[in-house]
Amino acid sequence: MKEIEAKVTQFQTTAKVIKDEISKVIVGQEKIVNQVMLALFSGGHVLLEGVPGLGKTMLVRTVGQVLQLNFKRIQFTPDLMPADIMGTKIIADNPNGGREFRFQPGPVFTNVLLADEINRATPKTQSALLEAMQENTVTVSGETRQLPAPFFVLATQNPLEMEGTYPLPEAQMDRFLFKVKVPFPQREELLEIMSRTTGKKEEAAAPVASGDQVIEMMSTVRQVMAAKAVTDYAVRLVLATHPETDYAPESVKRFVRYGSSPRGAQALVIAAKAHALLKGRLNISYNDIKDIAIPALCHRFFLNFEGEAEGIAPEQLLEEIIAGVPTTEG
């Protein structure tokens, strides 16, 4: 028991140190930082959505610095090709004086990959990340190569209404553990940003945790207990996003084309475990599920034509689902 308590304490301590260091660079956005950290401790990928200039790229870069992980950035553009991400075989000289094909790794071979403005590339290029995000492997010319551990994709995207953007394929959206909308900062936060960024010296984040520590934290998250009743609640929330089920409210039946995949339930449970650990508990509660339900599910179900025409927000439907699905049946 003491060993378990020590793990929980160590998890909380390390998480606080990481968060405090990130906060030296990122002003405000506490909720966003918390959600990114939850996803990382859960071993998941994050999609950050917001207009340019809100600090999305800075946040991802800071996470890489704080965690002492290899960090690479890909600036997604319409002319970016899959080989620019995964790598390709090149002809190179060998020690015997001849020539041979040699694999040149792409930027995906890293620990933290910043996919900047991911929806500015074509769907073909966006899909190049599918295998990497699900299997932590890359297959080029029939050969499969393992990516470093840990491996996180932290992607940014501009709102789809902006010119020159392409919707991400549904299969790729489903690979992200969380989709997080980055809001415009408040007046006080803007003042602090001006103070930090227009003076003589900007704050820099220092490395405070290693890759091995992150892997250990991910392992600790998996040890958190999930009661069958709480897991069942997560499953019923996911079923409620499907318009054809009895769990779906009328708004879902009217506006949703199809609901979340089983990955949605997995995301709810694993992220709730990380959320519980941050609260000092080794078991998840119904409130843990509720607290992370919106970023875990908002990108996993898709509106029909009527929902799109009415301008319905998935977050609005999820709030109705959370309010309408009881924690226990009967």
CA distances 229 to 89, 152, 234, 242, 262, Å, are 51, 31, 9, 21, 17
Residue ranges of E strands in the chain: 45-49, 71-75, 87-93, 99-105, 112-116, 137-140, 143-146, 152-157, 176-181, 256-258, 302-303
**Helices 56-66 & 30-41 angle (0-180, nearest 10):** 50
According to the model, what pLDDT value does residue 169 have? 78
Tens of pLDDT, residues 255-280? 998 888 899 999 999 999 999 998 88
- Which pLDDT value is given to residue 16? 87
Question: Please, which residues have CB within 8 angstroms of residue 127's CB and are 6 or more apart in sequence?
Answer: 82, 169, 171, 172
Count other Cβ atoms within 10 Å, centred on residue 171.
Answer: 13
Question: What distance in Å separates the CA atoms of residue 301 and residue 4, rounded to the nearest whole number?
Answer: 37
Spans in the chain with pLDDT lower than 70 = 1, 51-55, 97, 160-164, 189, 193, 197, 199-203, 330
Please provide residue 4's backbone torsions phi and psi, each rounded to the nearest 5 degrees.
-65, -45
Structure tokens given for 130: 């599918």
Residue found under tokens 């297959």? 139
* Residues 86, 110 contacting (CB under 8 angstroms): no
Nearest to 11 by CA among 317, 330, 273, 287: 273
Overall residue count recorded for the chain in this entry: 330
- pLDDT, position 24: 79
Would you state the pLDDT for residue 199?
Answer: 65
What is the pairing mode between strands 152-157 and 45-49? Answer: parallel
Percent of the chain with pLDDT over 90: 20
As beta bridge partners, residue 143 has: 140
Report domain 224-330's class. Answer: mainly alpha
Q: What is the pLDDT of residue 239?
A: 93
Domain ranges for the chain, please list them.
Answer: 224-330
Query: What pLDDT was estimated at residue 207?
Result: 79
Q: Are strands 176-181 and 45-49 parallel, antiparallel or unpaired?
A: parallel
Q: Among the residues of 115-210, which ranges form H helices? A: 123-126, 130-135, 170-173, 187-197
Distance in angstroms (rounded) separating the CA atoms of residues 23 and 34: 11
